[in-house]
Amino acid sequence: MTELSRKERMALPRTEMPERNPKVRAHDFGEVNLGYTTQLAILEAERCLRCPRPKCVEGCPVGIRIDEFVTHVADGRFADAAAVIADDSSLPAVCGRVCPQENQCEGACVLARKERPIAIGHLERFVADHIRDSAQAAPSAGRSAQAAPPTGRSARAAPSGKSVAVVGSGPAGLACAFDLIRLGHAVTVYEALHELGGVLNYGIPEYRLPKAIVAAEIDQLRNMGVEFVTNAPIGLAETVDELLERHDAVFLGVGAGLPRFLDIPGEHLIGVYSANEFLTRVNLMRAYQPGAHTPVYDLTDRRVAVVGGGNTAMDAVRTALRMGAAEARVLYRRSAEEMPARAEEVRHAWEEGVVFEFLVAPVEFGGDDEGWLRSMTLIDMELGQPDDDNRRRPHPVVGSERTEPVDVVIVAVGNEPNPLLRRTSPGLTHTRRGTLQADPETGATSLPGVFAGGDIVTGGATVILAMGAGRRAAAAIDRHLAGGSGGTGTPRIDLRGGR
């Protein structure tokens, strides 16, 4: 393509991601977004202004050199683009699908000031998918350079003789393991469940993040030498202190998988789920597959209400719709403008037929004599002054209560860390919220040699923020293993200011 001027690049419209028809996709678990074609990816990459100081890189929590990989895409050099991404991210196909780029790299894009920003997430997904699909389609011998896996993933330093235990195979743990294995350390990842991936597998639905994508990303780490142990709940099977007897350092990235509830009457009734329980049953027990036998309440023709306004609530309500719900509603106690879910997820839900009710909250659930949920009592809310999160605090409207029939309620109002580690590792300092206390720059905890990052430290956040924490901790662990107490010293990992 002829080199475009800056003015011509700014005039190009953003290339939209092809999507499946909402009337069709709402009834199956096939992926909603279809991905860019080669032509669409190059067209979108051509919009990049090639900024001398790319703000998008500063906005990326893992510090990907976005300007470089986008330039390679524009030139059709997809293997080079994949190698650039692989220097900093172990999960490009995942992040390209589920990360809130609009609040991070794309939000920092210069084009966002006057036009729509570069579709960085869509391009990252394209590169990861293109390389994987090309490698799978190529013959076992004589693969072209374009189809070869990027060298950045396989680059590894000489063995250090040091060993690190990574607890949790979610995004924080995988990112930490990725950097540590490349630095030459032996890495063993311990996962409490029978499948790897953490929230990527049990929390995010198949239509947003296919399980095969997660498995392929994990296989890359396994091929690099990372060892994985499943069915190993640390704190129960082994303690952190016992891990330190066999490893030189420990990283805790177990997330925040304990659900919060509403603490209202009737929450014990059959038919009231936490979003964690509901999504885990659907995802890990393959309830999304035809004929699957799994302990999920039959939602066919049922009235389902989901309480909450975040991404987990969107996942739960859209999953319920695909499981056959006749009515899928979102109940949110604030206004639409304050809903924390990604705009794309809200749009997709609305297109698929989800009903949104704002400024409303349940105050009681009613059941029959056999303990089954049959109704919910709702109350209207009004917004007052901003709270600690700078969102207007909701207050109930006295006398506005009403009772409506409902068959299933899914509660998606947040999570907190499982207390297992608190009970079995008295040397770890925790906050009043139950999260681990760790240095925000290094992940160092109150126990020497033990580091932590992700949702177990911050509370529920995003995949990419957890990955950023995992990378920072890996850099600190590397310094610690080299003799720097508490992870101080010169890092061998260049995070490029990513947060």
Contacts for 255 with CB less than 8 Å, ≥ 6 apart: 168, 170, 172, 198, 199, 417, 454, 455, 456, 466
Paired strand residues for 367? 373
Same domain, 147 and 22: yes
In this structure, the answer to whether residues 186 and 216 fall within a common structural domain is yes
Does some domain include residue 209?
Answer: yes
Contacting residues for 471 by C-beta, under 8 A, at least 6 apart: 62, 63, 88, 175, 176, 179, 493, 495, 498
How much of the chain, in percent, has pLDDT values that exceed 70? 92
CA of residue 289 relative to chain centroid, distance: 22
Asked if pLDDT for residue 247 goes beyond 50, the answer is yes
Tens-digit pLDDT profile for residues 421-442 = 888 888 899 988 889 999 999 9
> Do residues 378 and 320 both lie within one domain?
yes
Residues 184 and 266 both lie in one domain: no
Does a structural domain hold residue 368? yes
User: What is the DSSP-derived secondary structure letter of residue 227?
Assistant: E
List, as one string, the DSSP characters of 23-79: HHHTTS-S-SB----HHHHHHHHTT----SS-HHHHH-TT---HHHHHHHHHTT-HH
Query: Do 269 and 406 fall within a single domain?
Result: yes
Distance between CA atoms of residues 344 and 78, nearest Å: 26
User: Distance between CA atoms of 40 and 289, rounded to whole angstroms?
Assistant: 32
Q: In the numeric block, which tokens belong to residue 426?
A: 């008295």
Q: State whether 296 and 402 are in the same domain.
A: yes
The listed range with the strongest mean pLDDT (216-220, 355-359, 413-417) is 355-359
From 137, 152, 167, the end of a domain falls on: 152
Angle between helix 66-74 and helix 120-137 axes, rounded to 10 deg: 60
Q: How many CB atoms within 10 Å of residue 175?
A: 33
- The answer on 132 and 211 residing in a single domain is no
Mean pLDDT of 261-277: 95
**CATH number where 323 lies:** 3.50.50.60
390: Cβ contacts below 8 Å, ≥ 6 apart: none
Interhelix angle 463-481/171-182, rounded to 10 degrees, is 40
CA–CA gap between residue 13 and residue 118 (Å, rounded): 10
- Residue indicated by tokens 């917004």: 383
Nearest to 95 by CA among 224, 208, 202: 208
Task: Indicate if the pLDDT at residue 139 is higher than 70.
Answer: no
Which tokens hold the place of 180?
């540590």
Judge if 107 and 215 occupy the same domain.
Answer: no
Q: Which residues does 7 contact at the CB level (< 8 Å), separation at least 6?
A: none
Q: Give the domain-ending residue among 130, 152, 174.
A: 152
Whether residue 220 is found in the same domain as residue 284 = no
Q: What is the pTM of this model?
A: 0.89
394 and 302 within one domain = yes
Q: Please, are residues 366 and 376 in contact by the beta-carbon 8 Å criterion? A: yes
Banded model confidence at residue 144, pLDDT cuts 50, 70, 90: very low
Residue 497 lies inside a defined structural domain of this protein: no
Structure confidence by residue, pLDDT tens digits, 337-346 = 999 999 999 9
User: Which of 117-131, 236-250, 255-269, 293-307 is the least confident region?
Assistant: 293-307
Tell me the average pLDDT of the chain.
89
Predicted confidence (pLDDT) per residue in 42-71, tens digit? 999 999 988 989 999 999 999 999 999 999
In the structure, what pLDDT confidence band is assigned to residue 138 with cuts at 50, 70 and 90?
Answer: low
Q: How many domains does the chain have?
A: 3
Domain final residue pick, 348, 380, 413:
413
pLDDT tens digits, 275-318: 999 999 899 888 877 777 766 778 889 999 999 999 999 999 99
In angstroms, the CA 252 to CA 405 distance is 43
CATH of the domain at 123: 1.10.1060.10
- What pLDDT is attached to residue 487? 59
Question: How many other CB atoms are found less than 10 A from the CB of residue 7?
Answer: 7
More confident residue, 491 or 1: 491
**Containing structural domain, residue 74:** 6-152
d(CA 230, CA 432): 30
CA distance 20 to 34: 7
Provide the H-helix boundaries in 334-407: 343-352
CB 423 within 8 A of CB 235: yes
Cα torsion 85, 88, 89, 90 to 10°: value is 110
Residue 495 lies in a domain: no
Residues 279 and 386 in one domain: yes
DSSP 3-state of 157: coil
Residue 1 lies in a domain: no
Q: What are the tens digits of pLDDT across the range 351-406?
A: 999 999 999 999 999 999 999 999 999 999 999 888 777 778 899 999 999 999 99
Asked if residue 60 belongs to a domain, the reply is yes
Res 467: pLDDT: 93
One domain for residues 360 and 341: yes
Considering Cα of 402, then 375, then 28, then 276, what sign does the dihedral take? positive
Does 496 reside within a domain? Answer: no
- 499 domain-assigned: no
